[in-house]
């Protein structure tokens, strides 16, 4: 994966998605005689057509792309890969933790469903949790009917530098497989969903390879702290406008996480003892329509508080009950 930084050029393309987050940014990195695509939008005709038009505006075609690098494997960042690889058989590089997620490995995804089934039961979610599990099972059935991504095309990133001009940084939290790319010459960070200009990124709860819950928000805080410590001129995000004062924004996001954690701790002190009760109190309008994100937010905050020994929990009749001394 060699190359030289001197002639590196970066192009940002905003592509439409059907998701609540809105447009997704993908990047063309022209470096060392290669054209690298960073992230790949959503799997819709509208997104593909917009992508092809944007490429043409820069003087490129899909067949010019020689590699794909993924910041993470959420559907709004990987959607066009099947269409792109149908045009040209290019390697797709991803963090090793993202490979079973991205390739729709059946055993991994069935383990993931069992993980969430237990999580929602133990967080007291009742029928709302059952409905989410049903949606996950249907999504898995739909993907298993499709031709899977060829696993020999999907490759793990090497450690460290991807080339003399690009350094790979592990930035888990939003996703277990999340990475960012630091461009040495320009001091730009292609950051995926690590740091967004207009909204705070979710730290989605996920299992590890053994089915144990990852402390996603704890990991995300560490990644934000690392971002704030970097000598970076600009963050190029996965959604929205570039961030020209990344340290300031990262520190603000960290303060907001602390404030949210204190709000959850206060609710626990007032007697709201389960994650589901807290979710309904904090996000009544989004609880049904964005259930996965809402429960990730609340469970993540409770995990963060427990990690810092600010709350305790006890399993009562199969449901985790939280308490604290305020």
Q: Each residue of 152-165: pLDDT tens digit?
A: 689 999 876 788 88
Quote the pLDDT of residue 189.
98
Quote the pLDDT of residue 7.
55
pTM for this one? 0.94
Quote the pLDDT of residue 66.
95
- What are residue 310's phi and psi, to 5 degrees? -105, -15
Alpha-carbon dihedral 190, 241, 176, 284, rounded to 10 degrees:
180
Domain residue spans in the chain? 9-103+149-244, 106-144+253-323
The two three-digit tokens of residue 274, written as one number:
């389960």
Q: What share of the chain is helix, strand, coil (3-state, %, to 5)?
A: 40, 20, 40
Q: In the Cβ-directed half-sphere of 96, how many Cα atoms lie within 13 Å?
A: 4
Q: Each residue of 113-124: pLDDT tens digit?
A: 999 999 999 999
The two three-digit tokens of residue 292, written as one number:
């996965």
Contact 88, 251 (CB under 8 A): no
Quote the pLDDT of residue 5.
39
The pairing of strands 166-170 and 161-163 is: antiparallel
Cα separation, 2 vs 4, whole angstroms: 7
| Chunked mean pLDDT (size 10), the chain, 326 residues | 55 95 95 92 97 97 97 97 93 95 95 98 98 97 79 82 88 98 95 95 96 98 97 96 97 98 97 96 96 97 98 97 88
Strand runs labelled E in the chain: 9-15, 24-31, 34-38, 67-69, 92-94, 154-156, 161-163, 166-170, 179-183, 188-192, 234-237, 312-316, 319-323
Quote the pLDDT of residue 8.
75
Quote the pLDDT of residue 146.
81
Quote the pLDDT of residue 87.
94
- What are residue 38's phi and psi, to 5 degrees? -105, 110
**Neighbour tally for 152: CB within 10 Å:** 7
Nearest Cα to 264, choosing from 308, 232, 221?
A: 308
DSSP code for 110:
H
Burial class of residue 289 (count of CB atoms within 10 Å of its CB; 0-12, 13-18, 19+) = exposed
Contact 58, 20 (CB under 8 A): no
Give domain 9-103+149-244's CATH superfamily: Ribonuclease Z/Hydroxyacylglutathione hydrolase-like (3.60.15.10)
């Amino acid at each position: 994966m060699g190359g030289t930084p001197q002639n590196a050029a970066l192009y940002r393309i905003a592509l439409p998605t059907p998701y609540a987050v809105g447009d997704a940014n993908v990047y063309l990195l022209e470096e060392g005689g290669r054209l690298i695509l960073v992230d790949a939008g959503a799997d819709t005709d509208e997104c593909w057509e917009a992508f092809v038009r944007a490429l043409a505006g820069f003087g490129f075609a899909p067949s010019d792309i020689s590699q794909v690098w993924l910041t993470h494997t959420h559907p709004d960042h990987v959607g066009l890969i099947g269409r792109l690889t149908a045009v040209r058989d290019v390697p797709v590089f991803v963090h090793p933790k993202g490979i079973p997620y991205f390739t729709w490995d059946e055993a991994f995804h069935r383990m993931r469903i069992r993980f969430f089934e237990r999580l929602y039961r133990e967080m007291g979610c009742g029928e709302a949790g059952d409905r989410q599990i049903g949606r996950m099972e249907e999504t898995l059935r739909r993907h298993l009917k499709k031709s899977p991504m060829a696993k020999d095309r999907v490759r793990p990133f090497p450690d460290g530098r991807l080339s003399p001009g690009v350094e790979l940084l592990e930035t888990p939290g939003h996703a277990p497989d999340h990475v960012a790319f630091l461009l040495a010459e320009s001091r730009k960070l292609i950051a995926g969903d690590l740091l967004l200009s207009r909204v705070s990124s979710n730290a989605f709860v996920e299992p590890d390879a053994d089915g144990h819950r990852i402390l996603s928000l704890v990991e995300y805080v560490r990644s934000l702290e690392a971002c704030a410590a970097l000598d970076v001129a600009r963050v190029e995000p996965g959604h929205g406008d570039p961030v020209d004062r990344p340290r300031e924004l990262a520190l603000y996001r960290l303060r907001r996480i602390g404030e949210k954690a204190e709000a959850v701790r206060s609710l626990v002190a007032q007697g709201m003892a389960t994650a589901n009760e807290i979710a309904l109190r904090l996000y009544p309008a989004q609880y049904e329509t964005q259930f996965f994100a809402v429960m990730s937010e609340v469970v993540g905050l409770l995990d963060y508080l427990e990690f810092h020994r600010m709350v305790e929990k006890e399993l009562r009749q199969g449901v985790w009950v939280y308490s604290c001394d305020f």
